Structure 1
Amino acid sequence: MSWPLAKFEEVALPVKGSIVSGPFGSNIGSRFFVDEGVPVIRGNNLTFGQRRFIDDGFVYLTEEKAQEFRNCEAVEGDLVFTAAGTIGQVGIIPPDTCFERYIISNKQLRVRCDKGKVSPLFLFLWFTTREMRQHIINKNSGSTIPLINLGILRGLPVPLPPIEVQEQIAATISAYDDLIENNRRRMALLEESARLLYREWFVRLRFPGYEHTRITNGVPEGWEKVKVGSLLSKIGKGRKIKRDDYLESGPIPCVDQGVDFIGGYTDNEEALFTDPLPLIVFGDHTRVLKFVSFPFASGADGTQLIYPNTPRISPEYLYFSLKAIDLSNYFYARHFKFLKEESLLIPAESLVREFTRFAATNFEQINNLRTQTQKLRAARDLLLPRLMSGEIAV
């Protein structure tokens, strides 16, 4: 069975401002950003469907400034699309967000749906299918930067099964998404517990035996403070995979400087990296850090692979030491040179060993959860287009 199709604009709320673009660029530039206030949705808050909405990593506007952009607000149930850059990204504002409202940036589009005609979550899932993602990418109207505009968005096709069928499809896929989200949270908690132990021992200096250790200028006796650059081995140049060459699935995961831990997949065995492991991926542009303990292929531009050059510290200890550094954001500049100029402590070897045992156990559990998540996502992504097409009934 196939469902009747409508244009996206036909299922938008029939009021002025239901489909809008973000503010003009110069009206919402960085000079207006503040430390807290009304959050601005940018590309880093959207994905290709891996998550419904990334509810952190915001810049903010004052309440007064946000009032100027009331027509660019996004609230629960609204769909948000990337209009410039990584087109194909989409998000939906869920009911359990950290904020009551958001402002979309100058590179986003927002649609408010008519809930009498369509389930917003059903539509979100439709736009995350491989078919629709590619359809949007093919609509690119930009010359150097990929672009879609309001006209393109309004004309996108959407299927219209009965509303109860839409809700059943959304509920079926949500069961997978809930398991995936639960795994994501468990992984975050496991890493957080290791980070808190690192902070207690090596930042607050409340390590076992600290009561009997002399501390001079913030350095415990027997420890050493050194430049980060003196501890790093930068892994040599190998074959790297460009983002445009990523596959939806494949035998080799690609790890790059993006927010998603795994950016895509490849079948290029020449790019497979197996030694040394575990190691750390550092995003030269993004400052993202990842601890990788499985064979993978490296993303291209801006992906630095680093490893400790001394047995005095472990990759686990180095990872959390680098995570603890508040590295300034120089935007699209190369940040690795600034990272190397920072300092960190080399503790007593016994403490490093004890911390490493704890962290390594947590990372092993994280890898198991990540493998489960990949299997869940593969099953979900296989089922979704069949439900959307009516091939499988709900």
Structure 2
Amino acid sequence: MNATLEAMARAIFRDWFVDFGPTRAKMEGREPYLAPDLWPLFPARLDDQGKPEGWEMGTLGDLIEFNPSEPLKKGTPAPYLNMAALPTQGSVADDWLERDFTSGMRFRNGDALLARITPCLENGKAAFIQSLPEGSVGWGSTEFIVMRARPPVPKPFSYLVVRHPEFRRHAIKSMSGTSGRQRTNKEAVEAFPVVIPSEEIWEAFGRIVDPAFDKIRANGEESRTLAQTRDLLLPRLMSGEIRVAEAEKIVEGGG
């Protein structure tokens, strides 16, 4: 389900902000394929630069804050994510643990993480942070780049950029350093060219993608609960301490 939800969000991201699908459809005289409240938000033609008329050209740094500063004193216990916790597919990175802060990149829920070092960048290690305790600051590897959408840009936009093939090629191409230790840097990915739509488009995009990623987060929480229940019950079932009927009663009773 999470893979389907993310695929839908990525398809909309590409259609609206890369392929300019609604504007091209209008230019070709095709029937509207978006909801009636969305269709009028898109320009009716492309300008001389090949972007929807009225939209601006910019860089990713105009839309996303890179490596935002967060207060976290050394020795403070905080959620920690290592590089191994970042998936190569999907957005979920739930394997955090509590560890005293020493040094590393800091982030909050709603931030995207991008691995900047070879081969992690090429392998697609990235995540969208959603599962930290409310209001907490997490931390992790110095080899993360933290990306936080600037309002009114919806928070999942930063993660959808991270998974965008053209962005990934740009980041990989910009890597430098000695063989085996090459890295991309904040300035290189910050300079990735983008188009900037109207605030109404951002609001409409948020109404679509925010619920999708809320559902991804909820699915992750449900999966963790099921895994904890499995880890509790399986050894007791295998040892004969309890039987299946008793296990079902424990699950139904919540513990």
TM-score range, shorter chain: 0.5 to 0.7
Shift of 1:353: 0.8
Question: What residue number does 1:306 align with?
Answer: 147
CA contact (8 A) 1:227 1:343 kept: yes
Q: Is 1:235 aligned to residue 73 of structure 2?
A: no
How large is the RMSD of aligned CA atoms in angstroms?
A: 3.6
Q: C-alpha offsets along residues 270-325 of structure 1, whole Å, 9 cap, x if unaligned?
A: 99x9986422222222333322234352223323322134x352322233233212
**TM, length-normalised to structure 1:** 0.43
Residues 376, 270 of structure 1: alpha-carbon distance in 2 compared, 3 angstrom cutoff: farther
Q: Distance in 2 between matches of 1:262 and 1:343?
A: 31
Aligned-partner Cα distance in 2 for 1:240–1:282: 23
- Counterpart of 2:47? 215
Amino acid at match of 1:314: P
State the alpha-carbon separation in 2 of the partners of residues 240 and 374 from structure 1: 30
Deviation of the 1:364 alpha carbon: 1.1
1:312·1:349 contact (CA, 8 Å) conserved in 2?
yes
Within 5 Å, which residues of 2 pair with 1:186-197? 186-197=1-12
- C-alpha distance 389-239 of structure 1, shift in aligned 2 (>3 A): farther
- Contact 2:93-2:128 within 8 A present in 1 as well: no
Q: 1:255 to 1:334 in 2, by over 3 A?
A: same
Q: 1:255-277: per-residue Cα shift (whole Å, max 9, x none)?
A: 45422612332276999x99864
Partner of 1:315: 155
- Partners of 2:2 and 2:182 in 1: CA distance: 30
**Match of 2:21, SS?**
coil
**Partner Cα separation in structure 2 for residue 239 and residue 211 of structure 1:** 44
Q: Note the 1:137-286 alignment, pairs <5 A.
A: 186-207=1-22, 208-209=39-40, 210=42, 212-233=44-65, 234-236=67-69, 239=72, 254-257=80-83, 258-259=86-87, 261-266=93-98, 277-285=109-117, 286=120
Higher relative contact order (CA 8 A, sep 6+): 2
Alpha-carbon distance in structure 2 between the residues aligned to 1:351 and 1:231: 14
What runs of 5+ residues in structure 1 fail to find an aligned partner? 1-185, 242-250
**Letter of the 2:226 counterpart:** L
CA gap of 1:336–1:275, structure 2 versus 1, over 3 A, is closer
Q: Distance in 2 between matches of 1:215 and 1:240?
A: 50
**What is the DSSP-based 3-state SS (H/G/I as helix, E as strand, rest coil) of the residue aligned with 1:216?**
coil
Structure 2: gaps spanning 5 or more residues: 23-38, 245-255
The alignment partner of 2:114 has SS state of: strand
- CA change 1:211–1:235 in 2 (3 A) is closer
Q: What is the number of residues matched between the two proteins?
A: 198
Q: Who is 1:115 aligned against?
A: none
Give the fraction of aligned pairs with identical amino acids, expressed as a percent: 24
Tell me what 2:168 maps to: 326
Q: Find 1:295's aligned residue among 132, 144, 147.
A: 132
Alignment check: 8 A CA contact 2:72 2:101 kept: no
Decide whether aligned partners of structure 1 residues 391 and 374 sit closer, same or farther in structure 2, where only a CA change above 3 A counts. same
State how far apart, in whole Å, the 1-side matches of 2:235 and 2:183 are.
40
> Conserved in 2, the CA contact under 8 Å of 1:280 and 1:292?
yes
Is the contact between residue 229 and residue 340 of structure 1 (CA under 8 Å) also seen in structure 2?
A: yes
Contact 1:252 1:295 in 2 (8 A): no
- Range moving further from structure 2, 338-347 or 197-206: 338-347
Shift of 1:379: 1.3
Note the 1:33-72 alignment, pairs <5 A: none
Give distance in 2, aligned partners of 1:335 and 1:238.
25
Shift of 1:372: 0.4
